[in-house]
Amino acid sequence: MIEQPDWHSAEPFRALGRPNLFFGVAAGNMDSMINPYTADRKIRIDDTYTPGGVAGRRPDRATLVYTQRCQEAYKDVLAIIGGIEASRVASSTTTTGRGRFAAASWPAS
């Protein structure tokens, strides 16, 4: 598991080694497009979900970015996405036929 990897290169994902089955990717417990803003629509100066409270360590559309880095590291390995961003991301990528994505989500209770 890599918590908030450096998303500028595929090296942190290569450090994990080649997975036997797939990469499991989740961007966290808050949508990456909403996270940088407060309820008043102002830019946050800190991030409670990042170690040290440093803002700006996660990219916009983090699920897509992390999945792209996994596929840069190992091109022929499947990436399964999950979490809060997965339903939005999977519907936009699988309907256009771009990329090799599989979405996983929890059943509604």
In a domain, 109, yes or no: no
Mean pLDDT of 7-35: 84
Q: What is the pLDDT of residue 92?
A: 54
Can you read off the two tokens belonging to residue 30?
């808050």
Question: Within a domain: residue 32?
Answer: yes
- What band does 108 get if pLDDT is binned at 50, 70 and 90? very low
Q: Based on the structure, what is the number of domains in the chain?
A: 1
CA dist., res. 89 & res. 104, Å (int): 11
For residue 1, being part of any structural domain is answered with no
> Which two structure tokens, joined as six digits, stand for 81?
């996405």
- What is the structure's pLDDT at 72? 92
Which residue range is the domain that position 37 belongs to? 11-103
- pLDDT tens column, 64-101: 888 899 999 999 899 888 877 777 655 555 444 455 55
Does a structural domain hold residue 2? Answer: no
Does some domain include residue 3?
A: no
Check pLDDT > 60 for residue 11. Answer: yes
